[in-house]
Amino acid sequence: MSRAVVAKRVDSGRADLSEIVELAEAAGYDVVATLTQSREEDAAYHIGEGKADELARVVADSGAEVVIFDNSLGPYQTYNLGGKFPEGVEVLDRFTLILEIFGQRAQTRKAQLQVELAELRYELPRAEAKASLAKRDERPGFMGLGEYDESREQDIKKQISTIKRELDRIAEQEESRREQRRESGFDLVALAGYTNAGKSTLLRRLASDLDVDQNEELHPDLDPTAESEDRLFTTLGTTTRRADTGKRDVLLTDTVGFVSNLPHWLVESFKSTLDSVYRADLVLLVVDASESVEEMREKLVTCHDTLYERNEAPIVTVLNKVDKVPPEELEEKKKALSALAPNPVSVSAATGENVEALSARIETELPEWQQERLLLPMTDRTMSVVSWVHDHGHVEREEYEGDHVVLEFEAKPAIVERARAKAADLATVESN
């Protein structure tokens, strides 16, 4: 485990290092020291030069191998800071650290492509700057930025285009799979929220069966395992499971967690993962209720900005980790956040507290089902139709009257239409 010093500059006020320390630890670093500064950004070192010298002493005294800034560093600032530190000490900024974590967690082809796309988008402006400076200065390696390669900028752009095309193909396949699920009678519910809010734990709590092999033909990407560790970015891709909420057939998808202060290029690289949220029938916005009201409010605002941009499904706020919050404090937080989180559901995914109420709420918030009554003639195929309706809807009455079967059920409108078509086919067969 590499030893790291974490640094952060803010324009004013006090710098909060809690999240960047969590991120560093999530990446596998041992944070041995921290340093902060409140001042305007310095063009050469990001922090003031005197503070950079102080940081160099901290690095040398602690034997750190990496310096991590909770800020965005320009290529010149990174180079200048590196010149202050002992040889071999690496300088990372917030976004290179996040990309490193993403790279560690990317298991699927889609996730790996998204990480590669984000890395290229991060590198592109630096390649453009290097090209511009090299042309202006007419010296390769200007400012220690490395040898100038005029083709690198174009290579990056070509790679970005290639990856985007492959991600678009994957997105089309996933959309087709979502439509197949809807046609099979499933409601699609997505878990959204900040990383470490407990989404994966909640998924496990709501899952009706950890063994999903029986669903493999219909749902080839169902994953029988979903990690529930207390660390950031445990879930990078998506994990889908069948959830037990009552009479509805629900597929619940856990997605990559949000994290604060992400640049547009990074969010854009992972937008195909968020399609599972944007195209769901219902979104559960999971919030860590043990955090301060200020933190919860800031995260709710960011989530709403992201979700309401493209999402049309209803959103239910889930206040998780209530086992860590006294009841009086929880009520105060609900009142303070009522404008952003009206009528939330309070649960503890860890203990199971109030999860049944959440299941009931899911059933209530999903698009309404349609009531239908069918009179099916008794043929060789009738029982297969009855079985199909049981699998895709909720049968309230099934009676056998002479040479007919009376079936009263409720289901999604698309399922009702297909059931009517199947009944019509039976009637056609009987008449022939």
Q: Summarize the annotated binding site for GTP as residue ranges.
A: 193-200, 254-257, 320-323
Enter the tokens of residue 127: 């390649």
For residue 379, what are the CA distances in angstroms to 165, 404, 416, 429? 49, 9, 20, 8
Report the C-alpha gap between 127 and 120 in whole angstroms.
Answer: 10
End-to-end CA distance of the chain: 76
H helix or E strand, kind and range, residue 240 = strand 239-244
H helix or E strand, kind and range, residue 328 = helix 327-336
Which residues participate in the annotated binding site?
Answer: 193-200, 235, 254-257, 320-323
**SS3 assignment, position 383:** helix
Angle at the Cα of 287 from the Cα atoms of 285 and 249, rounded to 5 degrees: 35
DSSP 143-211: GG-----TTHHHHHHHHHHHHHHHHHHHHHHHHHHHHHHHHTT-EEEEEEEBTTSSHHHHHHHHBS-S-
Edge-to-edge strand list for the sheet holding 404-411: 370-377, 404-411, 394-401
Strand partners, 9: 37
Report the C-alpha gap between 302 and 95 in whole angstroms.
Answer: 18
Number of C-beta neighbours around residue 245 at 10 A: 22
For residue 184, what are the CA distances in angstroms to 172, 393, 416, 424, 428? 18, 9, 11, 19, 24
For residue 11, what are the CA distances in angstroms to 39, 93, 131, 149, 401? 5, 17, 31, 36, 79
Which residues participate in the annotated binding site for Mg(2+)?
Answer: 200, 235
Give the residue among 425, 344, 408 at the shortest CA–CA distance from 371: 408
Are residues 254 and 266 in contact, defined by beta-carbon separation less than 8 angstroms?
no
Quote the strand ranges of 55-136, DSSP E: 66-69, 90-92
